[in-house]
């Protein structure tokens, strides 16, 4: 094969075909240090340039897949190379408890925020594009990624993407990624992505609440709202009460309304309460929620009003530990 013969100048060995995607053919090889690498053979110059541009922007973000171009390859296609990762997110999830899965997912949220802070939006987030290294998430395949100034048309119609956004004329790239992530969180709990956006107060909403509990439903529905302007921001997702369940300490009972109210206050979300039958609506910056019959829902949280005051990327401040249990999730 012409490609393999030309790659010999780089001392690659054991070159093997892996897969062919929409934009690239993928190979695996070992370099002269016997480290595994992935090789992408890309026909489109624009596709190649976009991947290299994103790699340059994200080169300082830990756990993003960085690609470099191989020169001196005399082919019509462009050839890129990067590190090979052997473990996909789905494989990792099979080995983890629910608590560990939520820890992993929150780390993924933090990683996506770091990418967004660089002005890049992935636009193709799905389990097969999340790899694992040392138990941590790694983002790969920035082939469809955009900067905010470049959002003209979106081609992604995968099972995790908000197809209703794709067909709209004004895609909000951050909220596009949030929807994909919400779908992945739904799959962590249910085993598959959502068939359609969650319509608040619908049968689908209440069925999900019965299965995963009210706090998990709050986050999933906030991330996968049909109206992209009403979806949670990445910061709101990271600071959601669902992830406070991973902390351990002394216990005190708070109502669900108090938990959500505290969450929104900590994020400076103005609270507006309207009545709709037996439902309460909490609306604010980037988020609208509704709940039915929540009066008897109760959570056990640690003795602090600063439970959701997160410090830095990963740590809760002012709390040594706390244990949370939701009656629905027993």
The whole-number pLDDT of residue 265 equals 64
Give the span between the Cα atoms of 9 and 250, in whole angstroms.
62
Residue range 2-83, CATH number: 3.30.200.20
Domain boundaries, the chain: 2-83
Rg for the chain (alpha carbons), in Å?
22
Higher pLDDT, 246 or 94: 94
- In the predicted model, is pLDDT for residue 53 greater than 80? yes
Tokens of 41: 């053979």
In this prediction, residue 47 has a pLDDT band, given cuts at 50, 70 and 90, of confident
Q: Which of 196-210, 227-241, 243-257, 304-318 has the highest mean pLDDT?
A: 227-241
Tokens of 171: 């895609």
100: left (phi over 0), alpha (psi -120 to 50) or beta: alpha
Question: Across the strands, what pairs with 291?
Answer: 280
Residue range 32-48: mean pLDDT, rounded: 89
For the stretch 31-39, contacts whose Cβ atoms lie closer than 8 Å and that sit 24 or more positions apart, written own/partner, are: 35/83, 36/83, 36/84, 36/86, 37/12, 37/81, 37/82, 37/83, 37/84, 38/81, 38/82, 38/83, 38/84, 39/7, 39/12, 39/15, 39/70, 39/79, 39/80, 39/81
Give the span between the Cα atoms of 219 and 237, in whole angstroms.
7
Q: Which of 11-25, 135-149, 164-178 has the highest mean pLDDT?
A: 135-149
- The fraction of the chain above a pLDDT of 90, given in percent, is 45
In this prediction, residue 319 has a pLDDT band, given cuts at 50, 70 and 90, of very low
Angle between helices 203-212 and 173-190 (to 10 degrees): 60
What is residue 244's DSSP assignment? Answer: G
Higher pLDDT, 102 or 32: 102
In this prediction, residue 60 has a pLDDT band, given cuts at 50, 70 and 90, of very high
- In the predicted model, is pLDDT for residue 214 greater than 70? yes
**Among 8-12, 209-213, 225-229, where is mean pLDDT lowest?**
8-12
Q: Which of 105-119, 188-202, 233-247 has the highest mean pLDDT?
A: 105-119
The whole-number pLDDT of residue 286 equals 36
- In the predicted model, is pLDDT for residue 314 greater than 80? no
Higher pLDDT, 258 or 132: 132
| HSE-up of residue 229 (Cα within 13 Å, Cβ side) | 2
Higher pLDDT, 1 or 105: 105
The whole-number pLDDT of residue 97 equals 94
Cα separation values, 98 from 94, 112, 188, 216, Å: 10, 21, 8, 12
The whole-number pLDDT of residue 157 equals 66
- Per DSSP, which regions of 183-319 are E strands? 252-255, 275-276, 279-284, 287-292, 298-301, 310-311, 315-316
- In the predicted model, is pLDDT for residue 296 greater than 80? no
- In the predicted model, is pLDDT for residue 285 greater than 50? no
Question: Is the Cβ–Cβ distance between 184 and 127 less than 8 Å?
Answer: yes
Tokens of 46: 């624009």
Tens-place pLDDT, residues 74-92:
677 889 999 999 999 999 9
- In the predicted model, is pLDDT for residue 117 greater than 90? yes
Count of beta carbons in the 10 Å neighbourhood of residue 18: 13
């Amino acid at each position: 094969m012409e490609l393999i013969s030309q790659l010999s100048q780089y001392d690659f060995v054991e070159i093997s075909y892996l897969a062919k995607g929409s934009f690239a053919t993928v190979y695996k090889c070992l370099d002269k240090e016997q480290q595994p690498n992935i090789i992408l053979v890309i026909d489109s110059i624009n596709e190649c340039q976009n991947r290299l541009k994103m790699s340059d922007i994200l080169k300082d973000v830990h756990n993003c897949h960085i690609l470099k171009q191989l020169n001196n390859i005399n082919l019509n296609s462009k050839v890129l190379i990067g590190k090979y990762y052997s473990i996909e997110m789905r494989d990792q999830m099979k080995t983890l408890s629910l608590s560990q899965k939520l820890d992993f997912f929150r780390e993924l949220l933090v990683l996506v925020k770091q990418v967004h802070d660089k002005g890049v939006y992935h636009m193709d987030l799905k389990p097969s594009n999340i790899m694992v290294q040392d138990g941590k998430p790694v983002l790969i395949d920035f082939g469809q990624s955009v900067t905010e100034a470049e959002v003209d048309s979106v081609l992604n119609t995968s099972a995790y993407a908000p197809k209703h956004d794709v067909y709209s004329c004004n895609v909000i790239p951050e909220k596009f990624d949030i929807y994909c992530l919400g779908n992945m969180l739904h799959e962590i709990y249910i085993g598959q992505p959502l068939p359609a956006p969650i319509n608040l107060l619908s049968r689908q909403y209440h069925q999900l609440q019965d299965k995963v509990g009210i706090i998990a439903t709050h986050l999933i529905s906030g991330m996968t709202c049909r109206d992209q302007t009403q979806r949670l921001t990445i910061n709101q997702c990271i600071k959601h009460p669902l992830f406070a369940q991973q902390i351990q300490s002394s216990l005190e009972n708070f109502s669900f309304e108090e938990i959500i109210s505290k969450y929104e206050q900590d994020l400076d979300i103005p609270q507006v309460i309207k009545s709709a039958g037996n439902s309460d609506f909490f609306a604010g910056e980037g988020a609208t929620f509704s709940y039915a019959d929540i009066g008897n829902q109760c959570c056990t949280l640690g003795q602090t009003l600063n439970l959701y005051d997160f410090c830095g990327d990963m740590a809760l401040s002012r709390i040594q530990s706390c244990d949370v249990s939701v009656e629905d999730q027993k």
